[in-house]
Amino acid sequence: MHLAQLNVGYLKYPTDDPRVAEFMNNLDLVNAIADKSPGFIWRLQDDSGNATALRPFVDPEMIPNLSVWRSAADLEQFVWKTVHERFYRKRGEWFDPMKKPHLVMWWVEEGHIPTLTEAAERLDHLHKHGPTEHAFGWEQLSDAKFWRIGRCA
């Protein structure tokens, strides 16, 4: 099994606003690091190389980040042990706070590429039911039942 993840956000300003320039100007760098990271399998992108122009949700201001990783450890390594972590720590400068969870993860069969519809359903499931084996967050990755599902134990 592989790990799929979706995280969403609301940019405080339009993508061409100077107040989000640091974020926008570093997307290619962060994405290139993801693409070369151990365990990286796939990420959602359009012709620009990122997904900031995609607006697949009912709310047109919400932007997605969808990817698939070989394991939770590989995703965790990318998020917390690369330059990505520096930008994550600064997210409050560029993104509005979310009242509901903005990240969802779930296990997928090897070779499966999740659709945005599937990812949105998983996030909605997390909002409605809390963490389950169907949709969960970082906190559950230390729970043995979630690790077993992903065959990480």
Calpha distance 48→64 (Å, rounded): 14
Give 134's contacts (C-beta < 8 A, 6+ positions apart).
Answer: 106, 122, 125
List, for residues 2-58, the tens digit of each pLDDT value.
Answer: 999 999 998 899 889 999 999 999 999 999 999 999 999 999 987 777 777 666 666
Q: For residue 144, what pLDDT is reported?
A: 45
CATH number of the domain where residue 136 is located = 3.30.70.100
Q: For residue 62, what pLDDT is reported?
A: 79
In which element (H, E) is residue 64 found? Answer: strand 62-69
The three-class DSSP label of residue 21 is: helix
Q: For residue 143, what pLDDT is reported?
A: 59
Q: How far is CA 16 from CA 4, 11, 23, 140, in A?
A: 29, 11, 11, 36
List, for residues 95-149, the tens digit of each pLDDT value.
Answer: 999 888 899 999 999 999 999 999 999 999 999 999 999 999 988 876 545 544 5
Q: Find out whether 43 and 67 touch, Cβ atoms under 8 Å.
A: yes
User: Which two three-digit tokens encode residue 118?
Assistant: 């599937």
Q: For residue 57, what pLDDT is reported?
A: 67
Calpha distance 47→49 (Å, rounded): 5
Q: For residue 132, what pLDDT is reported?
A: 92
Q: Which domain holds residue 8?
A: 2-149
| Res. 82: pLDDT tops 90 | yes
Rounded percentage of the chain residues whose pLDDT exceeds 70: 87
Q: How many structural domains comprise the chain?
A: 1
Give pTM, 2 decimals: 0.86
Give 124's contacts (C-beta < 8 A, 6+ positions apart).
Answer: none
Calpha distance 55→59 (Å, rounded): 8
